[in-house]
Structures are given as structure tokens and as C-alpha cells.
Amino acid sequence: MAVRPILIAGDPRLSTPATPVTVFDAELLAFADDLFDTNTAAHGAGLAANQIGDPRAVFVYDLVDDGVRHRGCVVNPVLETSEIPETMPDPEDDLEGCLSVPGEWIPTGRAHWARVTGVDATGQPISVEGTGYLARCLQHETDHLAGRLYLERLIGRHRREARRMIRDREWTAAGNSWLPGAEPKPARR
């Protein structure tokens, strides 16, 4: 088990759709453990494989929502959601962050309910369903595996501010990363 560097926005591996997993073996189980270790070290709610440079369709989640801990690994996820609001997100209730956009929290519209179906790291069928924070996480991580950062879901002034932030932080090239536990999470400028 190991903590791996997390790619930062601008790296093309974050915008490349994931490859379905076809081999379920000890290496995949160890990889899932690395995802959990990296997510824990980064104090994240979830982490997708492409965020650490791996092209496989795998994500982990580990979060507390309404006092209940939710933890798991989903391979080859398929997402289903309730309707996504088209209005401006609430600046307090709809804040979303990302380990690949460290230090930033931006209001992002998400469906209130989500379900992800797929398999676990051993190949057994799995279905995870939730509302609120868990639903947000499931949508966020499946977006990663589709090659989409949450920044692409932003609207209005939030989208303009995010583009400016990416440019100001010089996150426009491949290879930017940070290592949880070994260095501090890059701070907001």
C-alpha cells in the first residue's frame, strides 16, 4: 500500500476517459488500497484512478454524510441521477472541492440523488445510492472517470473565476502534482 502523487488540473490524463477494467486480480486489490491510502492522506472524500495517472475505471470513496460513514470501491461505474438543477448553485450549500484542484471550493450544481452500479475490486456486483454529500461524491468521481473535472460543470461567474484561477496558478500543462502527507496541499493564492 502506498500514497501516490495526485495530478493537478491541466494534466491531460484528467481529461481522458477511463478504460474499463477487465482483469480482477491481486494487483487491482492492491491498487484499490493505494487509492484509499492516497485519499486518506489527502483528507479527501473520494479519489478516481486517473487522478493518480492510472487509466482504469476505478474510484474509491470514504466520507461521512449525516453522521453515517460511507466507504467503498467501485469499478466500471454507471451513474444514474435525479434531475440536475439548472439554476445558480447555492454559494454555501453547494460548495464542491477536488483533490486535483487543491485549495479551491466552488459552488457546483449537482443532482440531489445518485446511484452508481458496477462491480467491486473482486468483480462482484455493487450498487451505491445516496443523497446529499454522498450523491455529490458519486457524481464527482464518475465525472473524473469520464474525463471531466467539476470545473466544467460550473456556470456564470464561477466558471469565469475558475478559468482565471487555473491561469493564475499556471495549471495549464501536464505533470503538475502534489503528494499528500509529504508536502502540504497547494494553498489558495
DSSP 38-66: HHHHTT-SEEEGGGGT--BSEEEEEEEET
Residue 99 domain flag: yes
Residue 77 domain flag: yes
Active centre residues (catalytic): 141
pLDDT of amino acid 174: 82
Residue 98 assigned to a binding site:
yes
Answer yes or no: pTM beyond 0.85: yes
Amino acid at 85: P
pLDDT of amino acid 185: 60
pLDDT of amino acid 10: 92
Q: Which residue stretches of the chain have pLDDT < 70?
A: 183-189
Closest CA to 98 of 55, 153, 31, 56: 153
Residue 108 domain flag: yes
The half-sphere exposure of 114 on its side-chain side, counting CA atoms within 13 A, is 20
Residue 140 assigned to a binding site:
yes
Closest CA to 24 of 73, 80, 71, 79: 73
**Beta bridge partner(s), residue 117:** 78, 127
Residue 30 domain flag: yes
pLDDT of amino acid 182: 77
Range of the domain at 145: 6-178
Q: What are phi and psi of 63, to 5 degrees?
A: -150, 165
Residue 112 assigned to a binding site:
no
pLDDT of amino acid 115: 98
CATH number at residue 31: 3.90.45.10
Residue 189 domain flag: no
Q: How far apart (Å, rounded) are the C-alpha atoms in residues 117 and 137? A: 14
Residue 188 domain flag: no
Total tally of structural domains belonging to the chain: 1
Annotate 34-71 with b (16+ C-beta within 10 A) or e (fewer).
Answer: bbbbbbebbebbbbbbbbbebebbbbbbbbebeeeebe
